[in-house]
Structure 1
Amino acid sequence: MDCRRVLVASLLAIQALGRLVFSPSELTQTEYDFVIVGVGTAGSVLASRLSEDPSVSVLAIEAGGSNEDVLATIAPFLAVSLPGTSVDWNYTTPPIEGYNNRTLGYTRGYGLGGSSVLNLLTWNRGSIDLWNRWASLTGDSGWSWDAMEPYWLKVDNFVSQNATGKYDPLAHGYSGEVNTSLPGWPTELDPLVCKASAELGGRFAWTQDHNSGTFLGTSYMQSAIGGGERSSAATAYLYPVIERANLDVLVNTRVAKLVEGSSKSGTLSFTSAVLSQGPEDEGVTINAAKEVILSAGVFGTPQILQLSGIGAKSSIENLGISTIVDLPDVGEFLKDHPAVAAYYLVNSNNTFDSLLRNSTLFADTLAEWQATRSGRFVDSPANTYTFLRWPEESDIYAIHGDPSSGETSGHMEVIFVDGFAQFGPLAQPAEGSFLTLLAGVVSPTTNGSVTLNTTNIFDQPTIAPDFIASEFDQATMVQVLKDVETFMNASAWKDFIIGPYGDFANATTDALKLQFVRKYGSNINHPVGTARMSPREASWGVLDAELLVKGTSGLRVVDASVFPTIPESHTQAPVYMVAERAVDLIKAKHLLS
């Protein structure tokens, strides 16, 4: 499939919508009430909700275009083909010491809907302890589990039918914006995972629904899928309202920097944005009467802040940028979930390996999905997973403490994939059937950073995740591989498993397991925290608890960069929830309906 050709076609087709604007010169005004920078997961929510009030004007600015007609963004199974394409920012890290100085590609969504358009769809809201921890860290009870429940229900639209016993009906919304569901295509792994979970019990015991608040144990994966199609921020929030007269969506445009001025309160106001469509573009300035809201993502948001003179003085002045607001935490405290894929050879002809090697079978399966929205392509490649805490008897707590949010949160995760899933540098084998176990740390203690390379918004910043640099992270990666072995040694797998594949088969000691991680480790693409929120008077953090940039007025951040800690789960749903609460904070401040 030529994704670039489809992308161009979709851009041409969508012009008929009328409110999509392709150049700043096409804008009919230079001031809006709200200017949203980035129309990804959070930005789509903001554009939709703020434009509900017809008395306000909203401009939403997106660096990419529309991916509405790109087939791989619609069929859930094809999501794995999207990294490295035109819908991906195609970020690259510097050499990572913990991974034997290998560089990694960093997948982030480029275009309307952002990463909700190319992620692997998993739908987790995090644990009770996660949200209560955020409330405690920020000094704002509005971020607690109970207070955030209405926003979860506002987002979630659980559409699975005939799923009795596989989920908790009380843990879901049924009239939210994003369609969510249990797996729609059962794989041969599903009953084996269930049997192994029942046999082992304890840390591996079955949990009916992680979204009930305890993110531990083995369960079916829930995903942002409805009717066999991806449900993204673009399809759920943005496209249904894009023709509103008070909403302009400007694509193929970046914000080069924000421009400061004085507000009535005497603080620095950052309510002007310089728009640019190319490195040599002189730029067009757009003003916000009420707020500029940065939703440019975990990498884009700190880059724009730093280019605007908001950040660590010692860092940005090295590039000749005058420091306007000295906030050392901008771009710091980058966290993500490190992971490594362990492979097993299996006795089966039903894994998706044959699908990837047989073009006729692939075409037939795709045709089935296109005609009926059924078959293997209705799901991402995984149906089940488990979240685990370190064993209670471990001395890890005495040595390193507990970095997780609490007893309802895990330290590690294992995802069960029915085929050879290429996470990391190991290529798809030419023959054989496989089971992939993607094993990772969900409570990492290592921090990375996002810093400027140049003063040009069109140059990528330096994205430096310091994976497995801490002793806790290293020990937890080794432990999760031991847990993989324990789980796969359950009798449920006796007739299915041939044995571990490749270097994992030889990783028989803790030291060899760590070597294996260093050689093959990657990440799960859950970056957060580069503009974290904190109490208003705290010396740490970038934002206050209402997501306003400290030391400024008229400037707010709403995306995963605001997370004060990393969720011990997948991160998509918490971004939606944060965005929905941000809308209420914004509307209350400006007395909007």
Structure 2
Amino acid sequence: MPASTLFSSLILVSGLLSPSLAALYTNPSQLPRLTYDYIIVGAGTAGNVLANRLTENPKTQVLVLEAGVSDQGVLAAIVPFLGPTLTPGTQYDWNYTVTPQTGLNGRTFPFPRGRMLGGCSSVNYMVHQYGSSADFDKIAHLTGEPGWAWNNIKQNIYKHEKVVPPADGHNTAGQYIPANHGTNGILPVSLPGASQAIDARVIATTQELASEFPYSKDQGGGDVLGIGWVQSSIGGGKRSSSSSTYLADAIKRPNLSVLINAQVTKLAKTGTVDGKPSFRAVHFSCDQNTNPTVVHAKKETILAAGAFGTPQILQLSGIGDKADLTALNIKTIVNNPSVGKNLSDHVLMPNIFNVAGTASLDGLMRDTTLFSVALNLWNTTKTGTLANGIVSNLGFLRLPKNASIFATVPDPSSGPTASHWELIVANFFLYPGVATPSTGSFMTLISALISPTSRGSVTLASSNPFTKPLINPNFLTTAFDIYAIREAVKASKRFASAYAWAGYVLSPYGGLSATSDADIDAFVRETASTMFHPVGTASMTAKDAKWGVVDPDLRVKGVEGVRVVDASVFPFVPNAHTQGPTYLLAEKAAELIISSCQ
């Protein structure tokens, strides 16, 4: 989607946006105090949940430090279909870049992360699920803590989620299972709010090829397998972010302070408690030319800076691999080689097809007149194509039980009800980093590797906190990952060859025409990139485990007064677009924090 064209149109309607949040500070001098009960680093998906839940007690003073800008007045962070214009290469993105990937022909590319209130929940594509029940059961097994099991964690869905009607008000019977969802929570979630021309073909394919691509009645109840209707963090035709929901609900409370443009540079040791170093001082700066401001937490410091920001801050604070820290002249206070390791992410592989006619959405993205009409419709009614996310259907699928890879490699999925790959159906040219061709109509079937075995790392490039870390996801460096993504590409081609697509799908585009395994592998290595779902860099493990960064209560190992509450604690990437699991994690964390400090 050509961001430059769309952003030029957005400026024209900026005056139609809601006013700024009330108690939001932009300068450290505005803060009412420098000591709080809790300091939360990051106003993203998880951080804003904590800000809301912890300040429900009016006696609890909370400070949230956000490195980015406000989301207020940013139309693209409100209009659902415009999500892809927010990253990369904008002020709303951290603008990270991966190191050259050996499994992807040495390529490097952007790895978007939200740098504004709401974090990634303000810039992502809004797909909202919670993963397989097997994911959480496996976490409970790995940590020895039954509280993380699905039957316990799923209870947080009902206080988190508020299912609302789709923007177009259509009858949603048969498109989801109401009993799996909440109706009185904080975050509005809905089914697709604008019908797309290919929706009926997708559902017809699940009937025609039911053995390989079965229909899913609902992917939000712990059973992810099958293809169905996407559930999105959208309500009333607008994005539901953690900022527009959890934070907006709490921001007027006098016991909550939120400061933007405040990048945390390190946590500082303030003493020793029970033989462990205590880190209750937080240093932050507005820019690298400004002396840091120091704030203190009486109860806990909570890192919610994400899978890249959290390990970076820990390492800058002297918590990490001693060899790595010593090389950068950083004094090691806690030697923990697990910090920043175990990075895992879903791999995105776009399979693009040439299609007939003008029913695809490519024309909308090229024609400023069509786009202006759609934007005016959204502005006046909050309906139409722009009130929807970019896809209506997706599904999670498994390799066959007799797949040859399983003769030599154990099944890496979290369980038999979990998936190996995901199919996402987009009715336009969707190839991150590549501009839409000036002519032609397209459909994209994204194959996403959901249970990768490759693991990477996040390490410091410098002791300067304003230098971006070295991010190496180590994509496609194991036999299973290469096999699974290859088979997913083949399956996507079988999906598009169903009779349901007759007269619409014309031919594979570009390298998708490859047929041999070697040629498909070459196509994948030259094309694949990230799904933007990093986890694992501050992994949760059992209390007595010799590896890992946090205990099952999310306290940092070997440290007093610090917890991590973000996707970095997941020991493996879930069967979901990760904002849903992260919300459940944050709700659970709030319970743990409140109960431990009463």
TM-score range, shorter chain: over 0.9
| Residue aligning to 2:547 | 540
Percent identity over the alignment?
A: 42
Query: Where do residues 557-572 of structure 1 align in structure 2 (5 Å cutoff)?
Result: 557-572=564-579
Structure 2 distance, partners of 1:489, 1:354, is 24
Any idea what SS the aligned residue of 1:456 has?
coil
| Counterpart Cα distance in 2 of 1:558 and 1:349 | 45
**Paired residues for 1:228-247 under 5 Å:** 228-247=237-256
Alignment of 1:12-411 (within 5 A): 17-83=21-87, 84-160=89-165, 162-411=171-420
Distance 1:149 1:365, change over 3 A: same
Q: Does residue 513 of the first structure (1) align with residue 520 of the second (2)?
A: yes
* Counterparts of 2:61 and 2:138, CA distance in 1: 36
Cα offsets for 1:478-509 (capped at 9, x unmatched): 0001101111121111121111111212x111
Deviation at 1:544, TM superposition (A): 0.2
Write the distance in 1 (CA, Å) between the matches of 2:393 and 2:338.
37
Q: CA, structure 1 residues 497+5, in 2 after alignment: closer, same or farther (shift >3 Å)? A: closer
Shift of 1:26: 2.0
| C-alpha deviation, 1:19, in angstroms | 1.9
8 Å contact 1:24–1:275 — kept in the other structure?
no
What is the match of residue 467 of structure 1? Answer: 475
Amino acid at match of 2:73: D
Asked whether the 8 Å contact 1:3–1:70 carries over to 2, the reply is: no
The DSSP-based 3-state class of the residue aligned with 1:588 is helix
Superposed displacement of residue 332, structure 1: 0.5
Q: CA 1:58 to 1:272, structure 2 compared with 1: closer, same or farther past 3 Å?
A: same
**How far does residue 523 in structure 1 lie from its aligned partner after superposition?**
1.3
The answer as to whether partners of 2:92 and 2:115 remain within 8 angstroms in 1 is yes
Shift of 1:6: 6.5
Secondary structure at the aligned position of 1:211 is classed as coil
Q: Name which of structure 1's ranges 306-315 and 238-247 shifts more when overlaid on structure 2.
A: 238-247
SS of equivalent residue, structure 1 residue 165: coil
| 1:458 to partner: Cα distance | 1.1
Report the AA paired with residue 453 of structure 1.
A
The equivalences for 1:362-511 within 5 A come to: 362-423=371-432, 425-505=433-513, 507-511=514-518
Aligned to 2:3: none
**Number of matched pairs:** 586
Q: Give CA deviations for 1:364-416 in whole Å, capped at 9, x if unaligned.
A: 01110111001111111111112111111212222111110001110011101
> How many Å separate the matches in 2 of 1:5 and 1:343?
28
Counterpart-to-counterpart distance in 1, 2:554 and 2:222: 24
Does the aligned pair in 2 maintain the 1:347–1:497 contact within 8 Å? Answer: yes
C-alpha offsets along residues 282-313 of structure 1, whole Å, 9 cap, x if unaligned?
A: 21211100000000111000000000000011
Q: Secondary structure at the match of 1:362?
A: helix
- In 2, distance between residues paired with 1:246 and 1:361? 47
Amino acid aligned to 1:230: R
User: Alpha-carbon deviation of 1:4?
Assistant: 13
Distance in 1, matches of 2:312 and 2:101, equals 21
Distance 1:38 1:442, change over 3 A: same
Structure 1 residue 538, shift from structure 2 partner: 0.7
Which secondary structure does the structure 2 equivalent of 1:212 belong to? coil
Moved over 3 A (4+): 1-7, 12-15
Please give the alpha-carbon distance, in whole angstroms, between the structure 1 residues aligned to 2:396 and 2:301: 38
Residue type at the aligned position of 1:25: S
Deviation sequence 1:493-538 (CA, Å, 0-9, x none):
1121111111212x11111111001111111100011001111111
SS across alignment from 2:422? strand
In 2 relative to 1, CA 432–546 (structure 1 residues): closer, same or farther, beyond 3 Å?
same
Whole-angstrom CA distance in 2 between matches of 1:238 and 1:193: 37
Q: Distance in 2 between matches of 1:459 and 1:128?
A: 38
Where 1:59 maps in the other structure, the secondary structure is strand
What is the root-mean-square deviation in Å for CA atoms of aligned residues?
Answer: 1.7
Shift of 1:5: 9.8
State whether residues 10 and 75 of structure 2, in contact with CA within 8 Å, keep that contact through their aligned partners in structure 1.
no
Once the two structures are TM-superposed, the CA of residue 264 in structure 1 deviates from its matched residue by 3.9
Residue 581 of structure 1 aligns to a residue in which SS? helix
Does the CA-based 8 Å contact 1:343-1:420 persist in structure 2?
yes
Q: 1:129 to 1:362 in 2, by over 3 A?
A: same
Once residues 331 and 483 of structure 1 are traced to their aligned partners in structure 2, the CA distance between those partners, rounded to angstroms, is 34
Question: 1:518-537 residue pairs with structure 2 within 5 A?
Answer: 518-537=525-544
Task: Return the letter of the residue paired with 2:576.
Answer: S
Could you tell me which runs of 5 or more consecutive residues in structure 2 were left unpaired when the two chains were aligned.
1-5
